[in-house]
Amino acid sequence: MLLDHDKAAHVAKVLTEALPYIQRYVGKTLVIKYGGNAMESEELKNSFARDIVSMKAVGINPIVVHGGGPQIGDLLKRLSIESHFINGMRVTDSKTMDVVEMVLGGSVNKEIVSLINQNGGNAIGLTGKDARLIQAKKLNVTHKTSEMAAPEIIDVGQVGEVAGINTNLLNMLVSSDFIPVIAPIGVGDDGTSYNINADLVAGKVAEAVKAEKLMLLTNIAGLLDKEGNILTGLTTQQVDELIENGTIYGGMLPKIQCALDAVKGGVGSALILDGRVANAILLEIFTDKGIGTLITCH
Ligand SMILES: Nc1ncnc2c1ncn2[C@@H]1O[C@H](COP(=O)(O)OP(=O)(O)O)[C@@H](O)[C@H]1O
Ligand SMILES: CC(=O)N[C@@H](CCC(=O)OP(=O)(O)O)C(=O)O
Confidence of residue 123 (pLDDT cuts 50, 70, 90): very high
Dmax (CA) of the chain: 71
pLDDT at 18 over 90: no
Give how far Cα 280 sits from Cα of 47, 48, 217, Å: 9, 8, 8
Q: According to the annotation, is 125 in a ligand binding site?
A: no
Cβ 135 vs Cβ 162: under 8 Å: yes
Give how far Cα 202 sits from Cα of 106, 118, 134, 144, 244, Å: 19, 24, 11, 26, 25
CA-to-CA distance for 90 and 196, rounded, in angstroms?
Answer: 9
Q: Give the tens place of pLDDT for each residue, 201-248.
A: 999 999 999 999 999 999 999 999 999 999 988 877 888 889 889 999
Within 8 A by CB and 6+ apart from 199, the residues are 33, 35, 67, 216, 254, 255, 257, 258, 259
Q: According to the annotation, is 90 in a ligand binding site?
A: yes
**Ligand closest to the CA atom of residue 87:** 2
Cβ 68 vs Cβ 35: under 8 Å: no
Q: According to the annotation, is 121 in a ligand binding site?
A: no
Within 8 A by CB and 6+ apart from 285, the residues are 21, 25, 30, 55, 60, 213
Cβ 112 vs Cβ 62: under 8 Å: no
Which residues are near ligand 2 (CB < 6 Å)?
Answer: 35-37, 67-69, 72, 89-90, 100, 159, 184, 195-198, 251
CA-to-CA distance for 216 and 203, rounded, in angstroms?
Answer: 9
Name the nearest CA neighbour of 65 among 27, 108, 24.
108
pLDDT of amino acid 298: 63
**Ligand 1 atom with minimal separation from the 250 CA:** 9
Identify the top-confidence range among 71-75, 150-154, 266-270, 284-288.
Answer: 71-75
Element housing 57 (H / E): helix 42-57
Q: According to the annotation, is 122 in a ligand binding site?
A: no
Within 8 A by CB and 6+ apart from 260, the residues are 236, 239, 270, 295
pLDDT at 143 over 80: no
Confidence of residue 138 (pLDDT cuts 50, 70, 90): very high
Confidence of residue 144 (pLDDT cuts 50, 70, 90): confident
Confidence of residue 37 (pLDDT cuts 50, 70, 90): confident
Name the nearest CA neighbour of 132 among 191, 66, 211.
191
**Ligand 2 atom with minimal separation from the 96 CA:** 16
**Residue bearing the CA closest to ligand 2, atom 12:** 67
Sign of the CA dihedral 64, 277, 43, 285? negative
Eight-class DSSP state of 217: E
**Residue bearing the CA closest to ligand 1, atom 11:** 252
With a pLDDT cut of 70, the percent of the chain lying above it is 98
3-state secondary structure of 296: coil
**Ligand 1 atom with minimal separation from the 37 CA:** 21
CA-to-CA distance for 238 and 138, rounded, in angstroms?
Answer: 29
Within 8 A by CB and 6+ apart from 217, the residues are 32, 33, 34, 35, 38, 48, 273, 274, 275, 280, 281
In one-letter notation, the amino acid at residue 6 is D
Domain ranges, ordered by start, for the chain: 28-295
CATH of domain 28-295: 3.40.1160.10
Q: Which ipTM was obtained for this model?
A: 0.95
Helix, strand, coil percentages, rounded to 5, for the chain:
45, 25, 35
**Residue bearing the CA closest to ligand 2, atom 13:** 36
d(CA 35, ligand 2 centre) in Å: 8
CA-to-CA distance for 45 and 276, rounded, in angstroms?
Answer: 10
